[in-house]
Amino acid sequence: MNCSKRTNQSVLHQGEVRADSIGYMPGLDGLRALAVFAVIAYHLNLTWAPGGLLGVSLFFVLSGYLITNILLKQWEHSGSINLKDFWLRRARRLLPALFVMLAGVMTWVMLCAPERMAALKQEVLAAVSYTSNWYLILHHVSYFERFGPPSPLGHLWSLAVEEQFYLFWPLLLGLGLRCLPQRKWVIGGTVAIALTSVAAMALIYMPGHDPSRVYYGTDTRAFALLVGAVLAMVWPSGQMSADLSGKKRLALDTAGSMGLLVVFLMIGKTNQYQTSLYQGGLLLYSVAAACVVAALAHPASYLGRLFGWAPLRWLGECSYGIYLWHYPVIVLTSPVVNTAGPDLSRTLWQIAVSIILAALSRYLIEEPIRYGRRKRFRRRTWDLQWWRRPLALSAKISVSILLTFLLLFVTANKDTQISAKDLAESHVTKNQAQVTDKKNIAANREHIGADKKSDIKGDEITAIGDSLMIDVEPVLQKHLPGIVIDAEIGRQMYQATEVISRLQKEGKLGKIVIIELGTNGSFTEKQLMKTLDSLKGTGKIVLVNTRVPKPWETAVNETLTKVMKSYPNTKLIDWYSASSGHDDYFYPDGVHLNQTGAEAYGKIMTEALISHRNDEQ
């Protein structure tokens, strides 16, 4: 039996459920709305939802459940899985809206930021082939690319993971159902594969390093989808009845509520650089999400009725379009350099525009292609003028593909593209040249009094840092002659102990040590403590927090603040607060310091050192 209406049940981000569908579960649409708005909150950098990225895991569990439920129903009715029909329905559901979004983003970039077009073409190819997650893994290997403008297509990695699941899971499930005589062995095999995925995440992940490999990898994220698949095997929708006793109904809603509590707590308390997340935390979250899905899928659940509230359900039905559009809208309408913090009015209209575009996508693109409009025409199409005849599905998809690839290959902008590497290198080089120009320094620097300069000697100080320290090195050398500065582009906290050991052997470690690291990525409390412990015997340790328009900014600053409280000889320089409202300190990447910024940074650091010396005296 073909999938027909059953294949039209809702899947990840897709809003596929219709009220007249067989087995419609309205509560799951409400859950989809919760998931997509958690992701939006994360991408808007709202402080109350640092774990909003977990909305994607919620989608994964839901997707695994619904897809497996569809496939199992098909197997029970026909003894086989119609792969061709399944894959064609996925393509018809997902591709048209995706192509329209890609065409819209490329048109905007072509008109407003043509220098980004060449890089965007590669990302579009990855999006169309549903390999965005692996493209991002390779993309983030480069230090310089990390500080280029954020990509408006960076969110498509989750759709790539889904599509890869849609491609391979029906094959694997069909093989298991055919070869294993009992369903329990299929369930056991699925659990084994899921645990293998969990183990791969834990083994590949390196605390304090960039988690992109395990965060984006299909192999390391598959377990969330498979948790949903296991739920479909043990909790199939076809066997649920609204006639449930009071105690069982209470137990069902209690389990769902407890799972929902875990979901909310983890969204509000975790972040993507938290070690525990990759060492079992995401599995815990997926199991909690499965409990929520199980409750909302059951027709007797009161929790399901709550999540089936009409406005919430409508947002869930539009969630695929909202997911597609929200990130391009946020990225393309937000300033790269923004030291003033969130703008409430901008945030609200970004959300509103995302919902409007999603609604237009649903009613003008997605539903007409999925369901067709031929039924509205009672006359034969040949009786109509040619321009009034409805386009065939193949024609609509072909036009969408043609539009995308015309924009992809006809609009060449290679000569005008500026790479992130060139931008970063030019920042460092230009900054050094400007700051070392004594005339410019004399004209722009606020002098520190000669009486204060004598209070501290540069040859007592060692500074260890990354590219920001390179930016500010000439200023520090001017204010604090003799200071030892060891800075390197791309350096991270886990490398600090080796640097400290080398400087100790070379006799270059001063009585005061400045640590400026965190621009290039997060680090764990243990890594910071290891660095501080390696400086035992040092008179004073000065930590500098960070301002960088990347997700790890908050994690870095919170870790510094928390750990330093356990080390009495440690002082924190709050560069994040000092640079607030000073967009003029930064180059267009929002990370590297121009001359004004380097002067301000050096002045703040020097005054902090002098203040400490005066306090001691």
Contact present, 12 and 3 (Cβ < 8 Å) = no
Active site residue 219: no
What is the rounded end-to-end Cα distance, in angstroms, of the chain?
86
Query: Measured between alpha carbons, how far is 309 from 19 in angstroms, rounded to an integer?
Result: 13
| Catalytic-residue membership of 77 | no
Could you identify the residue written with the tokens 């095997």? 233
Taking the CB of residue 451, how many other CB atoms lie within 10 A of it?
7
* Opening angle at CA 169, ends 132 and 236, nearest 5: 120
Structure tokens at 194: 């899921």
To the nearest 10 degrees (0 to 180), the angle between helices 496-505 and 525-533 is: 10
Query: Taking a C-beta distance cutoff of 8 angstroms, is the pair 282, 201 a contact?
Result: yes
Report d(CA 76, CA 178) in Å as an integer: 12
Name which of 140, 96, 164 is nearest 365 in CA terms: 96
**Angstrom distance (rounded) from CA 290 to CA 544:** 42
Considering the candidates 237, 467, 522, 579, report the single residue annotated as catalytic: 467
Distances (CA, A) of 323 to 317, 318, 330: 11, 9, 11
1, amino acid identity: M
Active site residue 426: no
The continuous run of DSSP H or E covering 350 comes out as helix 344-361
Q: Which secondary-structure segment (H or E) carries 572?
A: strand 570-573
What six digits make up the tokens of 453?
């300069």
Indicate which residue of 155, 298, 479, 592 is catalytic. 592
Closest to 94 (Cα-Cα) out of 320, 299, 415 = 320
CA gap 31, 9 in Å, rounded: 14
Alpha-carbon gap, residue 199 to 204, rounded angstroms: 8
Tokens representing 391 are 């386009």
Q: Which residues are catalytic?
A: 467, 589, 592
